[in-house]
Amino acid sequence: MSGNQAVIAGIGHTEFSQNSGRSTLQLAAEASLASISDAGFSPAEVDGTVTFSMDTNDELALIRTIGVPELRFCARTRGGGGGASATVQLAAAAIESGQAEAVLVYRAFNERSAHRFGQPIQTNPDPVWNWAIPFSLNTPAKVYSLTFQRYMYEFGLTNEDFGRYTVVARDWASTNPNAQFYERPITLQDHQDSRWIVEPILRKLDCCLESDGGVALLITSAERAADHGADFVPILASSAVLIEGGHEMFAYYHEDLAEYPEGRILGQRLYQQAGLTAADIDVAMIYENFSPIVFLQLEAFGFCGRGEASDFIKDGHIGRDGSLPVNTNGGLLGEGYIHGMNNIVEGVRQLRGTSPNQISGAEHVLVSAGRSGIILGR
């Protein structure tokens, strides 16, 4: 590994809850300081930041809060949670190009107690919604379901198939003290008893857990991380994928609606960069605003064939003692929805050997946000 290799040197987060009781800036600051301290750095050494375009915590407000004197690199990823792993890509690009030496990645919101993403849109926010809102596509669950239904139809799936993912996620969460569903596993019957959100695709337990909280990462070079005594994890590959006709919400205009083309391209790029194949991945952290998107990504990344994700999950591959443990923190359905960033934290934990659901011998972890992804490794 070259000394210039970008690594995740520190991870930090607040508790994940339904009502944090404090400002999003405080959540961002707490998570940021935790990640800086975890890496053995001081705030004064941070010289770059990355967050989401949607994040409401201004860079200047944050550095004034935590005592960073000066930044020379600031970037934000477009869109929503699909860009979660792109935060790491941007930070790594800054480190490896020499634009910055210590980049703080942060994302914090009160997404349950304040603005809830899952609530219906009351006024048309932008002309891009003209092709959705008047026709009553007014929540993310409905917007996504319109593509998921084609996948169900082509491969003969029912909502019960999606429930099998939720059962696994809630099993992982049940032994993760940081998960909001700690010690609360469910059965498939519980899933089937939960109310419909979008017939005949999604029930309540297919939906991620709107949450309050903050997550931060400290990204630097391997050499600098080693100098600070950090337990660092190299970023072996990183990429984002945006395609003509694609969209994180309105993915209705690409050729084949029963596949996830961005994920397929992303997987190919990441494996090529890292010199790995799907078979080399020990743990996969897969962004799931809704359970069906795990199915599409398992297929896109080549963990199973097209239309085979349902059997792959039914056969136990993604759970305890499975061949490919998936979302070992409980994922965004079980641990909490911090816009996908908490899945990166769990990826780092798996490679440090500090996960509450540690997979022994984990060497390569894929962290996918669907439209961006990273492979972390030892």
Q: Which of 53, 130, 187, 272 binds other proteins (CB under 8 A)?
A: 130
Does residue 184 interact with other proteins by CB under 8 A?
no
For other proteins, give the closer residue by CB, 89 or 149.
149
Report the SS3 class of residue 90: helix
Neighbours of 189 (CB within 10 A): 11
Does residue 157 interact with other proteins by CB under 8 A?
no
Give the dihedral sign, CA 306/308/310/316: negative
- Smallest distance, Å, CB 157 to other proteins? 13
Q: In which element (H, E) is residue 283 found?
A: strand 283-286
Does residue 132 interact with other proteins by CB under 8 A?
yes
Does residue 201 interact with other proteins by CB under 8 A?
yes
Does residue 315 interact with other proteins by CB under 8 A?
no
Does residue 66 interact with other proteins by CB under 8 A?
no
For other proteins, give the closer residue by CB, 53 or 158.
158
Q: Which of 42, 58, 131, 279 binds other proteins (CB under 8 A)?
A: 131
In 241-346 the beta strands, taken as DSSP E runs, fall at 283-286
Number of amino acids touching other proteins (CB under 8 A): 38
Does residue 205 interact with other proteins by CB under 8 A?
no
- Smallest distance, Å, CB 57 to other proteins? 28
Does residue 138 interact with other proteins by CB under 8 A?
yes
- Smallest distance, Å, CB 78 to other proteins? 18
Q: Which of 42, 97, 119, 192 binds other proteins (CB under 8 A)?
A: 119
* Contact (Cβ atoms closer than 8 angstroms) between residue 216 and residue 24: no
Residues marked as catalytic:
287, 337
- Report the distance separating Cα 31 and Cα 194, nearest Å: 33
For other proteins, give the closer residue by CB, 310 or 372.
310
Contacts of 60 (CB under 8 A, 6+ apart): none
- Report the distance separating Cα 159 and Cα 206, nearest Å: 9
* Contact (Cβ atoms closer than 8 angstroms) between residue 43 and residue 33: yes
For other proteins, give the closer residue by CB, 246 or 319.
246
- Report the distance separating Cα 298 and Cα 219, nearest Å: 28
Q: In which element (H, E) is residue 74 found?
A: strand 73-77
Q: What is the C-alpha radius of gyration for the chain, rounded to an integer number of angstroms? A: 19
Residues written for the chain? 378
Does residue 354 interact with other proteins by CB under 8 A?
no
Residues that bind other proteins (CB under 8 A): 119-124, 126-139, 142, 145-147, 149-150, 153, 196-201, 244, 250, 252-253, 257
